[in-house]
Structure 1
Amino acid sequence: MISRRKLTYEILDIGNKQHTLGKIVDIFLILLISLNVLFVILETLPAITALEHQWFYWFEVFSVIVFSIEYVARVWSCVEDEKIAHKHPVWGRLRYMLTPLALIDLIVILPFYLSMMLVVDLRFMRVLRLLRVFKLTRYSSSMSLLLQVLQREARSISAALFVLFMLIIVASSLIYFAEHHAQPEAFSSIPAAMWWAIVTMTTLGYGDVIPITVMGKIMASIISIMSLGIVALPAGLLASGFSEAIRERRRTYEKMVNLALQDGEIDSIEHKALNQMRETLGISKEDAAHILHANIDRKMEQDVSRDLNQLRQEIDAVLLDRCPHCNHSVKWLERRGRSKERS
């Protein structure tokens, strides 16, 4: 009999679609998170009355209770996860609590409890409550893919951002020394010149601060040209990482399809497993159908090619008076003539 902790883990596990209760819990939490974000936005409307604010408050209390129960249940049942190596009841849970998704779950409920113990600015509270939108990351394959790409490309993106930051410092320093005497208010310091550098390097060009000296214009032109590729570098790394991650997911699904087609057909159990894998990997039904049909066609072509090669070998063996199986010499025409004479 399955334990309560194991059942709790399977219900809260997003990749497990076997439990109807788990699907209901997922839908309920997604709706609750979406309503929380919507109500935080609506609270900023001037037309909201005090009574409506009271309703928002009690909805906030209800949401915090639900999210707190969810957080405690996830921490309690996390040791049932077969993917983690640390099964210790204490260290395993602490390790889970330090994961990005667990930290998000804690951050979205922590401000409510802090406001009960400390004097906290309500505007700061509202901003932290907006972080609940990141809880949807657990239920969105696209957001999980984004986090996976960010984690994989962290070093490359960090290096690109470091180069970009250095270029901002150099650009703001050069434009400061070129324009400070001509425009002491606009370029009062290097930190103030960083606003111009960021706006110029990102090609926004608000036009509120512009160089007027010859040296400043020359430097602005050089900085604008140099920054075109560097500013776009993090976006290029993300795009490349996205493409590679999507290809890896498709290759994983294609391997599953090939395993299911080894016996020549896909039964109901294999079809259910493939559908669950498709949902876990975030592959659309159209892409999954294309991969499936392409592998079936490839399988059929391989089978036909193998049969044709075997038939060709048998025909060649007969023409060369050889047995197609043991390659011994056999006089096929003489044997056929003898069989006719006997008949």
Structure 2
Amino acid sequence: QFIALASLLFILVSITTFCLETHEAFNKIKNTTEWINNGTELVQHCEVETDPALMYVEGVCVVWFTFEFLVRIMFCPVKFEFIKNLLNIIDFVAILPFYLEVGLSGLSSKAAKDVLGFLRVVRFVRILRIFKLTRHFVGLRVLGHTLRASINEFLLLIIFLALGVLIFATMIYYAERIGASPSDLSDSNYTKFRNIPIGFWWAVVTMTTLGYGDMCPSTWSGMLVGALCALAGVLTIAMPVPVIVNNFGMYYSLAMAKQKLPRKRKKHIPQAAQMSSPTFCKSDLNMTCNSSQIDTCLGKENKLMEHNRSACIRPGSIAPQR
């Protein structure tokens, strides 16, 4: 529990640092000069420099994540299964850019600067560390199992949505051209639906009932198409959703029931001696008897003698005849 809380704390600190790096209060504009054309021309550049305190905090978090990753991979019994795990891949991809950036920060070559620029773009991978919380929260694991079990429903939803987008984008394009001026061949002065691909964005926004308002029909025929698109979007999204909700309820019930079960401790059960083992017939003879257990021990000795006659026969031997 202590390690889980520490890991959770570092994840939250890392994500907070990632968000604060984009705030203008932690970014300073720095003017730099550079000689180009073999040192004959001086050019000034403006660069954004992040507060070093955030880099130090991120460095501490990365050190913890590196230690955690190395310990887990060191003690993992099956290394190949560890490498195939998606969360472990996210851990490695989120850790590696920091070390590359620190190693290349001291270089001044153009190739190093290009790599540093690419690594700064790849920084967004750090936000994927939020998925590491699935190791500590049951609800996130239930959500992951639900999404995995509902892949067919999601594919069905995407297919329905794609068909609706294609149909209504085509309809809105021709519906808006009805009121256009004959002299305006491109419809650029009359409507924003100048072609069908532009209508794809409007159809997606309308079918999902989001409605940004950046594109809207202006003719009565276009408004009719827009109303049909919104109704079709509600019905399209509403059909696969109950199946996904049922999967979530099933996995959530199983997770809650598993948490309520008492934990079973593994007990060591000694392996019984085999009949062919030389210690099989001598196990009872090693018992110590005190003066108060003489009768019991004598009874056990008589039973042991009978047991030796019947059971202590080596394989392939013949029992003596009486």
Q: Is the 8 A contact 2:21 2:27 kept in 1?
A: no
**1:302 paired residue number:** none
**1:134 paired residue number:** 131
**1:54 paired residue number:** 52
**2:4 paired residue number:** 26
Alpha-carbon distance in structure 2 between the residues aligned to 1:75 and 1:173: 53
In structure 2, the CA distance between the partners of 1:221 and 1:241, relative to structure 1 (3 Å rule), is same
My pick for the range that moved more, 67-76 or 233-242, is 233-242
**1:214 paired residue number:** 220
In structure 2, the CA distance between the partners of 1:233 and 1:53, relative to structure 1 (3 Å rule), is farther
Alpha-carbon distance in structure 2 between the residues aligned to 1:49 and 1:193: 39
In structure 2, the CA distance between the partners of 1:160 and 1:52, relative to structure 1 (3 Å rule), is closer
Alpha-carbon distance in structure 1 between the residues aligned to 2:100 and 2:244: 36
Identity %: 28
Amino acid at match of 2:19: I
Alpha-carbon distance in structure 1 between the residues aligned to 2:134 and 2:83: 16
Could you list the structure 1 runs, at least 4 aligned residues long, displaced by more than 4 angstroms after superposition. Answer: 49-52, 250-254
Alpha-carbon distance in structure 2 between the residues aligned to 1:249 and 1:40: 32
**2:13 paired residue number:** 35
Amino acid at match of 2:10: L
Alpha-carbon distance, 1:160 to partner: 1.5
Q: Gapped runs of 5+ residues in structure 2? A: 29-48, 105-114, 181-186, 265-322
CA RMSD, Structure 1 to Structure 2 (Å): 2.8
- Identify the structure with the greater helix proportion: 1
Amino acid at match of 2:62: V
Alpha-carbon distance in structure 2 between the residues aligned to 1:135 and 1:46: 29
Q: Is the 8 A contact 2:217 2:223 kept in 1?
A: yes
Alpha-carbon distance, 1:208 to partner: 2.4
Alpha-carbon distance in structure 2 between the residues aligned to 1:173 and 1:77: 58
TM-score, normalised on structure 1? 0.58
Q: Is the 8 A contact 1:111 1:128 kept in 2?
A: no
In structure 2, the CA distance between the partners of 1:72 and 1:232, relative to structure 1 (3 Å rule), is farther
Q: Is the 8 A contact 1:75 1:96 kept in 2?
A: yes
Alpha-carbon distance in structure 1 between the residues aligned to 2:98 and 2:240: 36
Amino acid at match of 2:67: I
Q: Gapped runs of 5+ residues in structure 1? A: 1-22, 80-91, 257-269, 275-343
Alpha-carbon distance in structure 2 between the residues aligned to 1:190 and 1:205: 18
Amino acid at match of 1:95: E
Alpha-carbon distance, 1:132 to partner: 1.9
**1:100 paired residue number:** 86
TM-score, normalised on structure 2? 0.62
**2:210 paired residue number:** 204
My pick for the range that moved more, 53-62 or 230-239, is 230-239
Alpha-carbon distance in structure 1 between the residues aligned to 2:259 and 2:129: 31
Counterpart check, 1:155 vs 2:152: yes
Alpha-carbon distance in structure 2 between the residues aligned to 1:234 and 1:37: 33
**1:225 paired residue number:** 231
Alpha-carbon distance, 1:113 to partner: 3.7
Counterpart check, 1:74 vs 2:77: no
In structure 2, the CA distance between the partners of 1:111 and 1:171, relative to structure 1 (3 Å rule), is farther
